[in-house]
Structure 1
């Protein structure tokens, strides 16, 4: 006999596993600090590469002006400004990455907790069915 409640739970669990749950389950394999730390390391490298590319494009665009006025420019203050802007961008993106990953980790943990709760309920349904089947087969053997 088909149990409609069991089928609904199994369908819901399968939909979660193949959809949002795939990412949630992979995130939940990490400790919170490890997940956020890994994201911050990725953020450092991506921000550094993006900033270097932006500087290359900017200096490529202003190359004629810079070659004509290189002798008049204060290269120390230009280098200082470049470093300060880099640090500000890195800190800003790191804060945003920390907030985003914290929220994402918390959301994934809630989703995984719900998933395991649903699995526990499904196991209880199976256990009840097994007990019923055991009682039915026990009656038949004794009769």
Structure 2
């Protein structure tokens, strides 16, 4: 005889495992600190690459001014402003990314706890069936 509660529970587990559970189970392999640090590192690398690209494009935009002024061009001023802007962007990015991925990890932990609870309930159903036999 098929137990409808067991079928619903197995369906719920399968849907979770095939949907958001794939990502959650992968994230669950990391500690919170490690996961957030990895995401921060990825973000800083991406921000750095984008910033370098933006600076190169900006330099191409003022290329004629740089070439016409030669050594009298205020290189130091531009470099200092670029570095200050980069530091501000990276600090803001680190703060925002840390907060965002901490929330993502905490939400994942809540979902995983529910998943583990459902697995425990399924295990109890299976154990009851074995005891009946």
Q: TM-score range by the shorter chain?
A: over 0.9
Q: Distance in 1 between matches of 2:64 and 2:127?
A: 78
Q: What TM-score results when the alignment is normalised by the length of structure 1?
A: 0.88
Deviations, residues 16-74 of structure 1 (Å, cap 9, x unaligned):
00100000011011011111111111112111111000001111122112222344432
Question: Are 2:95 and 1:73 equivalent residues in the alignment?
Answer: no
Q: Which has the larger radius of gyration?
A: 1
Unaligned runs of 5+ in 2: none
What's 1:140 paired with?
none
Unaligned runs of 5+ in 1: 134-143
Q: What TM-score results when the alignment is normalised by the length of structure 2?
A: 0.95
What's 1:126 paired with?
126
Q: CA RMSD in A?
A: 1.1
What's 1:109 paired with?
109
What's 1:16 paired with?
16
Which is worse superposed, 84-93 or 73-82? 73-82
Structure 1 residue 100 displacement after superposition: 1.2
Q: Distance in 2 between matches of 1:52 and 1:121?
A: 53
| Structure 1 residues 1-143: aligned runs within 5 Å | 1-133=1-133
Aligned pair count reads 133
